[in-house]
Structure 1
Amino acid sequence: MRLDCAIIGGGPAGLNAALVLGRGKRNVVLFDDNRPRNAVTHESHGFLTRDGVSPDEFRRLAHQEISAYPSVSIQQARVTAVHKHDDEYELVVDNGTTVQARTIILATGLKETLPDVERIHEYYGTSLFNCPFCDGWELKDIPLILIVEEGPAAFHMATLLWNWSRDLLVCTNGHATLTEEQKATLRRREIEIVEERITALVGTNGRLERVEFAAHEASARQGGLVAPRWQPASPFGAQLGCETNEMNGITVDRLGRTSVKGVYAAGDAVSASQLIVSAAQGSMAASGVIWDLTEREFSA
């Protein structure tokens, strides 16, 4: 069967796109290989009526709601290749099948590479996080560290994290990331800056207790933020020729359209974002698909 849309990615963006497309009477398949970026996350925050929900529970509820729409199917499989043939797309799946679809939504997300600090993965998702809007409340008013190695994100993230805690240490882990003017501005707010490499993160059961350096005095910290480096989780956007943005995500318009006709993108495939934002982008991309297909059919 020739589908109206194939969604690659079963996170909040892909799931919400599937819901909206089902309600739009469109024949859809969603492919989910169950390898989410937020695999270390225990609770997701900032989504009204679902604040604090676990990712597994969110997925269960989403699948339950989507199942009410018979034109949508969810396959626990991985898409290995996407090919464009005239005005439609062929998807090759790791279960040996191929699928033809008039449009595709890339909700494949981004991959994150954490700063080069030994044992950082032991604390990531428990006391070290990457989004203050997602986890800042749980970190409020305690001694925090910001680990950021490169780019303009250092000063921006330090300024933002100061909203949740005034006891803040910024560590660039051996990188000359901050300008002298930025360092002076942070120090006026009594934000400590250490530019040498971290030699150890110390704590138990994922709960950070202190940070140690080669020469600088160790600092007692109870949590903090890290700034990962982002890259696309799948090659499909690049292979299809989609333009990219400054986050290495896919450039889209307000309805999720990419620079390639028939290809839409949403969620972390566009930029790393909160659960509620990713879901909203999935809804908008699905709206774009319905609008474009309906207009094409109406004009035929």
Structure 2
Amino acid sequence: MRERDDRLDCLIVGGGPAGLTTGLYLARFKRRFLVVDSGSPRAAWIPTSHNIPVFAQGISGPEILARARANLAQYGDCIVPGTVTGLRKGPEGFMAVVEGEDGRVSEVAARRVVLATGAVDIEPDLPDVPNAVQRGLVRYCPICDGYESRDRRIAVIAYGAHGIGEAVFIARTYSDDVTLLTLGQHLELDAGQRARLDEHGIEVVEAPIESLDLENDRICAVNVAGKEHRFDVLYSALGLKYRSDLAISLGAAHDPSGCLLVDSHCQTSVKGLYAAGDIVRGLDQIVVGMGHAALAATHIHNHCELPTEDEPGGA
């Protein structure tokens, strides 16, 4: 770990696609940076993504991460395992508290910081099947793989307006056989929402799931109130928990869910603090996160020697 007085141009928090892409850009800009990776990127859950343009046959999340790490490794040893447990801002930049895998705590100083800490999907509470999303039994991104599920029997696990929106999105795009499973939650529908569900023929099942049938490493049926419902694909749309605590502790602007608000350069309302990937409000897609990374890294490179407007001598 670098000494306290050895200030980095940029500290990158998070080793998913957005964080690693930020590192790649900064390496090629010949900047001094470090990626702190806690080892739990959301991308690692992806069985296969089919909408990353250069991979016609699809590519898994672990393979994306492995390739991105190998690419960045060409430029030196710039990734360290650990967790940033604290972040504060002073007159000369940022100071991060980093806890390593061995439990040792260090401090890292940096002129700029990019948060690429992402989010975690809220797992559905399914009987006898914990961590169904992480295990790939339930999918979470119809934009990534919905095309492969077209014209099949699809269930959406969700409730509330977001769940209705997800079910309608899938029904109008990929399949005319969509069921909304609310896991025992009563779905309050206004006239407009009911009309949308009826328009797309979406069945709503509000009773709790009593049991599941698994076949060939997939959930093929759910049993509700003594009735079996068979599906080809299940999607979860229960929302995300955003890993934005570090930014919020510094006063960064965010929406009610904790998603960070950024400008056109992916800079938060805290000058010098940037965000990329799923932690940014908008479309949660790998290519979008990579775009965030490109914008943030280029802006950092072009302004790194300049103080921010809230620092002494800043504009």
| TM-score, reference length from structure 2 | 0.86
**Residue of 77, 86, 109 corresponding to 1:81:** 86
> Partners of 1:296 and 1:79 in 2: how far apart?
24
Structure 1 residue 221: deviation in Å?
1.0
> Partners of 1:127 and 1:141 in 2: how far apart?
19
Q: Please give the per-residue CA displacement for 1:189-213, whole angstroms capped at 9, x wherever unaligned.
A: 3221222222223223431211221
Structure 1 residue 218: deviation in Å?
2.2
Structure 1 residue 92: deviation in Å?
1.5
- Any unmatched runs of 5+ in structure 1? none
| 1:68-147 equivalences in 2 (<5 Å) | 68-70=74-76, 73-95=78-100, 96-121=105-130, 123-124=132-133, 125-147=135-157
**Higher deviation after alignment, 174-183 or 234-243:** 174-183
In the alignment, structure 1 residue 48 sits paired with structure 2 residue 81: no
Higher relative contact order (CA 8 A, sep 6+): 1
**Percent identical residues:** 31
- Any unmatched runs of 5+ in structure 2? 1-5, 309-313
SS of structure 1 residue aligned to 2:45: coil
Aligned to 1:67: 73
Structure 1 residue 100: deviation in Å?
0.7
Structure 1 residue 75: deviation in Å?
1.0
| 1:165-184 equivalences in 2 (<5 Å) | 165-173=175-183, 174-184=185-195
> Partners of 1:17 and 1:283 in 2: how far apart?
6
- Report the CA distance shift for 1:191/1:236 in structure 2 as closer, same or farther (over 3 A): same
SS of structure 1 residue aligned to 2:304: helix
> Partners of 2:186 and 2:155 in 1: how far apart?
16
> Partners of 1:175 and 1:24 in 2: how far apart?
53
Aligned to 1:249: 259
Q: Please give the per-residue CA displacement for 1:12-39, whole angstroms capped at 9, x wherever unaligned.
A: 1101111111122211101111112233
Aligned to 2:294: 283
User: Residue 289 of structure 1 aligns to which amino acid in structure 2?
Assistant: I
**Residue of 274, 277, 285 corresponding to 1:267:** 277
- Report the CA distance shift for 1:241/1:277 in structure 2 as closer, same or farther (over 3 A): same
SS of structure 2 residue aligned to 1:38: helix
| Structure 1 runs (4+) greater than 4 angstroms displaced | 294-297
- Superposed CA RMSD in Å reads 2.3
